[in-house]
Amino acid sequence: MKIYKKLIMSMGAVLVLASCGQQNQNSNGALSSSAAEKVYVAPGEQDEYYAFLSGGYSGNLTVYGLPSGRMFKEIPVFSQFPTSGYGYSEETKPMLTTSHGFVPWDDAHHPDISQTNGELDGRWIFINGNNTPRIARISLSTFETEEIIEVPNSAGNHSSSFITENTEYVVAGTRFSVPIPQRDMPINEYKSNFKGSLSFISVDPEHGHMDLKFQLLMPGFNYDLSHPGRGKSHGWFFFTTYNTEEAHTLQEVNASQNDKDFIAAVNWKKIEEYVNNGGGTKMPANYAHNVYDESTHMATTTMKKEVLTVDPLKVPGAVFFLPTPKSPHGCDVDPTGQYIIGNGKLSADLTVHSFDKMIAAIEGEKFDGEAYGIPILKFEDVLAGQVKSGGLGPLHTEFDGKGNAYTTFFISSEVVKWKLGTWEVIDRKPTYYSVGHLMIPGGNSRKPFGKYVVAMNKITKDRYLPTGPEMEHSAQIYDISGEKMELIYDFPTHGEPHYAAGCPAELLAPKSKKIYRLDENKHPYAVTSPTGSKVVREGNEVHVYMSTIRSHFTPDNIEGIKVGDKVYFHITNHEQDFDVPHGFSILGQNTSELLIMPGQTKTSVWEPKQVGVWPFYCTDFCSALHQEMQGYVRVSPANSNMELKWSLGE
């Protein structure tokens, strides 16, 4: 989105206009008691919807309530997170393993909630990592990241992580085309040598485990966004492309030469059938598959060595290009599956393709040439209509399930409501400022809950008290239950939310996990009762089997540790009460503290470098005697003959 920041600078006038609009609204009383009532969730009461906002460059996912805009949690996904010890504990470090080693960060854009029959089922939420291409799966009962799969032969995994309507597949796609397989070659030989890959990752219906089923090797365009077909178009997947010019430098200019780029329509059912019948070519690869096991509380990494690739030309009738004007960005499919909307980010109009017309054109073999052997359909043959909106820079579209669509316009900073089928504009409201995605709970399914839309903005400026040169990004909630949209709330977000997903609270709240049961704890270093605590030396490694319960650690005094030892504190939290974690930290440790949930075991590594008596303590205020929840480790010189000793507090 950085390129737009430049554009927007030259659109200062629009900003000023938008600002004035806001002033007027305030004095006209948009934040009058009726708007205030709509977002007011009284103390002790709960929100109607969950909203999951991607964190962009924070690498994580944040959880909010709607309509209050209150932030409930940040779920660590691709980034190390000292708040819980994610990516610092021995158990979770493998989650961040890749073929490039330990990668403790990513750029997370598009969350998507699992579906059954095209409706949200609230089992998992998926999100993409853009930078070192990955997809994560998060449990919506524990709100923990359970699985991360790396995507080989991909670069800039942006058109991801969208799922098909029975969660058969979660999809990944190349934003940057690259040499496949990667090799040392001149950049200026990009054209016709670099390739894009579209990856279909199957999701096991019982446990959600992901497996890279096949990868379609496509021309070297940039694959930007995607959405699955649904209803009548279930079985297809649609991807916007830009840079069909295949430029490799000065993209800002060189990738904007063609009047039209494409939406790639992929019949994944056809390719699945081809692959199931033995089609495709196995290619050597190297990518990480990281899985967290809820019963052992541990993640493990498997390096995968092969990927099944498919040449689209080998599966006739599976891939087509739909010409779409002006470097389209968003690619959205309406709840009926009939309309495919391509938002040409450099245009004023929206292009809507018709699924039925596309099928008719394919059947009639009415092609307008081909690109690298892939048939191009005629623009006029697939066009359902155009929305002449008068806005500038359309990006993304969501649906309310009542026949309306809502599109964001980055340059003119507004949300435009329009009618599917007639293409008439019904309403438009300014955003503050420069909106990217928007989200209606279920807006990316067959059954949207069209009560609120959340607009996620790129520029905050004067919306909040200034906090130095950087402001958190801002989101806005609009009530869309009536004919006209009504702005009802502003709230700050964390990182840079791109897309978001939302669902009714009752889908998740009743099954949200409260504790991990101690009697189900299969961690190899767990202690089932405090009397089982012990300290075991294995050469230079020392394993401390520690337990916590309000308000003490067992053991709390340890002697016989030496400089040069590697000490593993395996801490089991013996609480079996909702919302009573204990923390652990020790002076001089080179990792973060840990938060251990009730019934859980986590491990912190400490390599003492200095002789002395060093304290450890609980970092989470857990009881009236939380301050007493502490202990000491005595560290002797490397050559000392101190025996290991520990106290169980008897």
Q: Which residues bind ligand K7E (CB under 6 A)?
A: 1, 109-110, 158, 225, 329, 395-396, 436-437, 498-499
The whole-angstrom separation of Cα 486 and Cα 477 is 8
CB atoms within 10 A of CB 281: 12
In sequence order, what are the beta bridge partners of 535? 544
CA 181 to chain CA mean position, Å: 26
- With CB cut-offs between 5 and 8 Å by kind, which of ligand K7E, ligand CUA, none does residue 251 bind? none
Comparing CB distances to ligand CUA, the nearer of 415 and 571 is 571
Q: Please give the angle made by the CA atoms of 386, 160 and 418, to the nearest 5 degrees.
A: 25
Query: What is the closest distance, in whole angstroms, from the C-beta atom of residue 347 to ligand CUA in the complex?
Result: 57
- With CB cut-offs between 5 and 8 Å by kind, which of ligand K7E, ligand CUA, none does residue 620 bind? ligand CUA
Return the range that interacts with ligand CUA (CB under 6 A); candidates 302-310, 367-375, 432-440, 621-629: 621-629
- With CB cut-offs between 5 and 8 Å by kind, which of ligand CUA, ligand K7E, none does residue 1 bind? ligand K7E
Query: What is the closest distance, in whole angstroms, from the C-beta atom of residue 329 to ligand K7E in the complex?
Result: 6
- With CB cut-offs between 5 and 8 Å by kind, which of ligand K7E, ligand CUA, none does residue 626 bind? ligand CUA
C-beta of residue 98 within 8 angstroms of C-beta of residue 288: yes
Q: Which alpha helices (H) appear in 464-510, and where do they start and end?
A: 505-508
Q: Where are the beta strands (DSSP E) in 372-410?
A: 374-377, 383-388, 394-399, 404-409
Query: What is the closest distance, in whole angstroms, from the C-beta atom of residue 548 to ligand CUA in the complex?
Result: 6
The whole-angstrom separation of Cα 552 and Cα 297 is 22
Query: What is the closest distance, in whole angstroms, from the C-beta atom of residue 89 to ligand CUA in the complex?
Result: 17
Q: Token pair of 307, please? A: 């990927």
- With CB cut-offs between 5 and 8 Å by kind, which of ligand K7E, ligand CUA, none does residue 326 bind? none
Q: Token pair of 632, please? A: 């000491």
- With CB cut-offs between 5 and 8 Å by kind, which of ligand CUA, ligand K7E, none does residue 622 bind? ligand CUA
The whole-angstrom separation of Cα 196 and Cα 266 is 14
- With CB cut-offs between 5 and 8 Å by kind, which of ligand K7E, ligand CUA, none does residue 359 bind? none
State which of positions 52-81 bind ligand CUA (CB under 6 A): none
Comparing CB distances to ligand K7E, the nearer of 77 and 362 is 77
Comparing CB distances to ligand K7E, the nearer of 230 and 396 is 396
Q: Is 582 in the site for ligand CUA (CB under 6 A)?
A: yes
Return the range that interacts with ligand CUA (CB under 6 A); candidates 38-46, 190-198, 355-363, 613-621: 613-621
User: In angstroms, what CA-CA distances link 30 with 23, 24, 38, 65, 580?
Assistant: 10, 9, 12, 21, 42
Q: Is 628 in the site for ligand CUA (CB under 6 A)?
A: no
Query: What is the closest distance, in whole angstroms, from the C-beta atom of residue 458 to ligand K7E in the complex?
Result: 7
Query: What is the closest distance, in whole angstroms, from the C-beta atom of residue 331 to ligand K7E in the complex?
Result: 10
- With CB cut-offs between 5 and 8 Å by kind, which of ligand K7E, ligand CUA, none does residue 621 bind? ligand CUA
Q: Is 626 in the site for ligand CUA (CB under 6 A)?
A: yes
Comparing CB distances to ligand CUA, the nearer of 250 and 624 is 624
Q: Is 461 in the site for ligand CUA (CB under 6 A)?
A: no
Residues whose CB is less than 8 angstroms from the CB of residue 197 and which lie 6 or more positions away in sequence, other chains included? 153, 154, 173, 174, 180, 215, 216, 217, 218, 309
Q: Is 618 in the site for ligand CUA (CB under 6 A)?
A: yes
Q: Which of 40, 372, 464, 621 binds ligand CUA (CB under 6 A)?
A: 621
The whole-angstrom separation of Cα 517 and Cα 521 is 7
363: left (phi over 0), alpha (psi -120 to 50) or beta: alpha
Q: Is 620 in the site for ligand CUA (CB under 6 A)?
A: yes
Query: What is the closest distance, in whole angstroms, from the C-beta atom of residue 561 to ligand CUA in the complex?
Result: 22
User: In angstroms, what CA-CA distances link 23 with 287, 414, 463, 465, 501?
Assistant: 52, 16, 11, 16, 30
Strands 557-562 and 630-636: parallel
Comparing CB distances to ligand K7E, the nearer of 109 and 234 is 109
User: In angstroms, what CA-CA distances link 365 with 320, 325, 360, 376, 453?
Assistant: 11, 22, 8, 10, 40
Query: What is the closest distance, in whole angstroms, from the C-beta atom of residue 250 to ligand CUA in the complex?
Result: 57
Q: Which residues of 461-483 are buried (b: 16+ CB within 10 A; e: fewer)?
A: eebeeeeeeebbbbbbbbbbeee
- With CB cut-offs between 5 and 8 Å by kind, which of ligand CUA, ligand K7E, none does residue 227 bind? none
CA 359 to chain CA mean position, Å: 32
User: In angstroms, what CA-CA distances link 160 with 298, 327, 481, 601?
Assistant: 26, 18, 30, 33
- With CB cut-offs between 5 and 8 Å by kind, which of ligand K7E, ligand CUA, none does residue 216 bind? none
Q: Please give the angle made by the CA atoms of 491, 455 and 406, to the nearest 5 degrees.
A: 155
Query: What is the closest distance, in whole angstroms, from the C-beta atom of residue 603 to ligand CUA in the complex?
Result: 17
- With CB cut-offs between 5 and 8 Å by kind, which of ligand CUA, ligand K7E, none does residue 329 bind? ligand K7E
State which of positions 205-244 bind ligand CUA (CB under 6 A): none
Q: Is the dihedral of CA 604, 610, 611, 616 positive or negative?
A: negative
In sequence order, what are the beta bridge partners of 584? 594
Return the range that interacts with ligand CUA (CB under 6 A); candidates 64-72, 182-190, 484-492, 615-623: 615-623
Comparing CB distances to ligand CUA, the nearer of 465 and 624 is 624
Strands 298-310 and 383-388: unpaired
The residue nearest ligand K7E at its CB is 436
State which of positions 529-558 bind ligand CUA (CB under 6 A): 551
C-beta of residue 521 within 8 angstroms of C-beta of residue 601: yes
Strands 260-267 and 222-228: unpaired
- With CB cut-offs between 5 and 8 Å by kind, which of ligand CUA, ligand K7E, none does residue 582 bind? ligand CUA
Query: What is the closest distance, in whole angstroms, from the C-beta atom of residue 4 to ligand CUA in the complex?
Result: 46
Query: What is the closest distance, in whole angstroms, from the C-beta atom of residue 153 to ligand K7E in the complex?
Result: 20
Q: Which of 8, 501, 526, 629 binds ligand CUA (CB under 6 A)?
A: 629
Contacting positions for ligand CUA (CB under 6 A): 551, 582, 618, 620-622, 626, 629
